[in-house]
Amino acid sequence: MTRAVRLTCLAAAIVAALSFVLACSSASKGSGFFDGDAGDAVDGQVDGAGGGPGDQPDATLGDFDGGGGGGKGDGSLFSDANPDVAADGCVPGEAGPPPFPQKCTAVTADECDTATDTALTSLGVSASLLNGANGNGYDDDCDGLVDEGCTCPGSGATKDCYLVPAAQIDPGTKAAVGWCATNAKGSLDCAGNEFPKWSGTCRGAQPPYRHDVCAIGDFNCDGLQENSDVQDCQCKTGAVQCPTAAVTYPPYPDTANLPLLDGTQWITDPANRPLGTGWTWTIIGGDCDNVLPNPTYALYNTKVSTTANARKGVRTPVKLDNTQNPPRYVATAGQPLIALQAANYGSGAAGGMIYPAFGLSGDYVVQGEWDLKGQHYVCTQKVQVRAPGVRAELCWDAVNDDDIDLHLARLQGASCTSGKQGWDTVCKSGNTYQDCWYNGISGCRDSSATGPEWGYADSPDAACFGWSSRRLVTGKQKCSNPRLDKDNVSCTPSETDPTSGLFCGPENINLDNPKDGDAFVVGVNHYGGGTASRNHVNVYCNGERVLSAGYNPVTGQNFPVLRNSGNETSGDWWTVATVRTHVGAAGITSCDVATVPPHHADPTRDGSMCVDSTTNVSPAPYQYNYANHQFIDHVALQGGTNGGQPALPAGWCKH
């Protein structure tokens, strides 16, 4: 905005102020014109020392006026992230009633109760967006949880979710609008035992800003931009613009060229970028980061990760605080989300530039906080880590005591002379087997004498050899498909560096280029160790989480428990899920995932998942001798042909 335009607007505002109080600046602090709002403290513009009487909360989240003496109003928290206004002059002020205002139902622990849908109907929500018995994928009571209390298909299943209520959803697209279209979208997982429920945790999602800001972009996600209800956007000049779109990174980045996340670019005036002080960074991770002793990602202050340039930050519990504007994560003891936080990262341009490194797929939230000219700012950046094809990850709680192995077997292309398909060495095709696992004869290890021979071309070296990868550049098999990146036999829980060979990381198997219609089955074996181990498996399709099954301290899911070791022949076996890929000209378009339930749930071992054991477990019907590791070898129970593949998910379980 030019100086002449600013003066013209200011003059107009002064004239208008003779009959009506309208500010083109932040002059209303303490004027008493606005009711005090103790939760806002936005640059001293709204909160007044002489606020009116406090309003009672209504259906709109965050509509709480301070009452009595008004709000704080001292500018101590200024985190509304306003960028500069349009260059052609003053932007329109209030744009009128928004089409999708945030209206929330009463807070409940069960969004699938009748009361929630009744409340949504009274708010004008269409029938197609109601919860029913299984949930609608939205945070209807605005408590930061989605579909809590609603039933789900089976433990491990996932679906898309949004941290906005159904009242704020476009009924045509059934998706959020504005900034929330990408940033409020996440992945919701199904957890539980006999009666599984959605966990409520919408991983990788952020809620809307409590109020819109004077910026090009709809930050409170009501369908209109720059329609703040707490600021006058006519002549507002913002100092900061938070990112509105997600960024995409690959796993295993080049150790000499880590990707840059430059928070200084969020400061709109280049002259102010070196002036930011006290930069603090936080990364919120995924499921295995909650299970393992340390986060699987890192923060660096240069683009080169070396021993001398050690990882910055420490593991810390955090919680989401959506009373701030924008919402942010705050380090608080005892909270279930686990983050890596680098406090006092530095000042100036260097403090605002970080180099995050990720070894796992999925969605992450990176938050930067800093001070500028006496004001505090918070911005969050959604990061999507995307590996191509199918990826399975395994982590477990007793990672330093037990040796647990991940398996991925193909369900096509193998001609077994025995007529029986199964895990490890049951079915051989060519020189290798149809199961990809730690053993060199599977062809999945770097040191394997022969490759996997599944018919897939090798991937470029860059897909395998990078930060935190365990694949060896000098290995015989290079970047084969499929491949096991890490066989975690033993590790040191105190080791925090994911690039160290002592780091307690997840096992993971990757297949970058499956064909249309290809199908696979994921399994977990308690190979060695004497501890009862709780296990978690993620499956990703082109980097998007399509399965999250097993132990999760965030949701309280404690199964499955693998108790008995004894390598592939006698150790407990968890048959996790089957995966079928759909591939188009540009690669995978989707994956069909089916979790495997038990025939008879064992309350001490598997809950709603399938754990077979060679050890007799009393009482019946939990006794089963899982001999020979065939996919199907109990014709009477499975209802199929001996040696064939089960037609239904339940057919994969033996007990």
Q: What angle do CA 47, 49, 52 make, to 5 degrees?
A: 80
Nearest in space to 226 (alpha carbons), one of 405, 84, 391: 84
Residue 564: per-residue pLDDT: 81
Q: Rounded to whole angstroms, what are the CA distances from 450 to 443, 478, 509?
A: 5, 11, 17
pLDDT in tens, 184-215: 999 999 987 668 899 998 988 989 988 887 77
Q: What angle do CA 350, 352, 357 make, to 5 degrees?
A: 95
pLDDT in tens, 144-174: 899 999 999 877 889 999 999 999 999 999 9
Q: Which of 74-88, 192-206, 356-370, 440-454 has the lowest mean pLDDT?
A: 74-88
Are 405 and 438 within 8 A, CB to CB?
A: yes
Q: Residue 462 is encoded by which pair of tokens?
A: 């860059």
The Cα 389–Cα 541 span in angstroms is: 6
Higher pLDDT, 427 or 94: 427
Q: Residue 18 is encoded by which pair of tokens?
A: 């003779």
Indicate if the pLDDT at residue 627 is higher than 60.
no
The confidence band for 50, taking pLDDT boundaries of 50, 70 and 90, is: very low
Residue 38: per-residue pLDDT: 26
Residue 35: per-residue pLDDT: 24
Nearest in space to 374 (alpha carbons), one of 626, 648, 58, 43: 43
Long-range contacts of 597-603 (CB under 8 A, 24+ apart): 597/154, 597/649, 597/650, 597/653, 598/653, 598/655, 599/637, 599/650, 599/653, 599/654, 599/655, 600/655, 601/193, 601/194, 602/655, 603/193
Q: Rounded to whole angstroms, what are the CA distances from 42 to 29, 36, 39, 142, 243?
A: 10, 11, 9, 22, 19
The Cα 79–Cα 377 span in angstroms is: 4
Residue 473: per-residue pLDDT: 85
Higher pLDDT, 19 or 283: 283
The confidence band for 18, taking pLDDT boundaries of 50, 70 and 90, is: very low
The confidence band for 320, taking pLDDT boundaries of 50, 70 and 90, is: confident
pLDDT in tens, 285-309: 888 988 999 999 998 888 998 766 6
Indicate if the pLDDT at residue 70 is higher than 50.
no
Give the dihedral sign, CA 392/395/400/405: negative
Higher pLDDT, 18 or 339: 339
Q: What angle do CA 197, 198, 200 make, to 5 degrees?
A: 130
Q: Rounded to whole angstroms, what are the CA distances from 119 to 125, 167, 174, 216, 433?
A: 9, 10, 18, 33, 56
The Cα 452–Cα 384 span in angstroms is: 29
Indicate if the pLDDT at residue 250 is higher than 70.
yes
Nearest in space to 548 (alpha carbons), one of 525, 576, 569, 527: 576
The Cα 35–Cα 404 span in angstroms is: 60
The Cα 32–Cα 60 span in angstroms is: 23
* Mean pLDDT confidence for 21-30: 26
- Burial (CB count <10 Å: 0-12, 13-18, 19+), residue 39: middle
Residue 479: per-residue pLDDT: 95
Residue 8: per-residue pLDDT: 34
Q: Rounded to whole angstroms, what are the CA distances from 29 to 46, 124, 226, 239, 276?
A: 6, 37, 21, 19, 25
Higher pLDDT, 10 or 206: 206
Are 102 and 224 within 8 A, CB to CB?
A: no
* Mean pLDDT confidence for 535-561: 91
Are 170 and 131 within 8 A, CB to CB?
A: no
Q: Which residues pair with 261 in a beta bridge?
A: 354
Residue 525: per-residue pLDDT: 92
Reported as type and span, the H/E element at residue 652 is none
pLDDT in tens, 175-192: 999 989 999 999 999 987
Q: What angle do CA 614, 293, 306 make, to 5 degrees?
A: 125
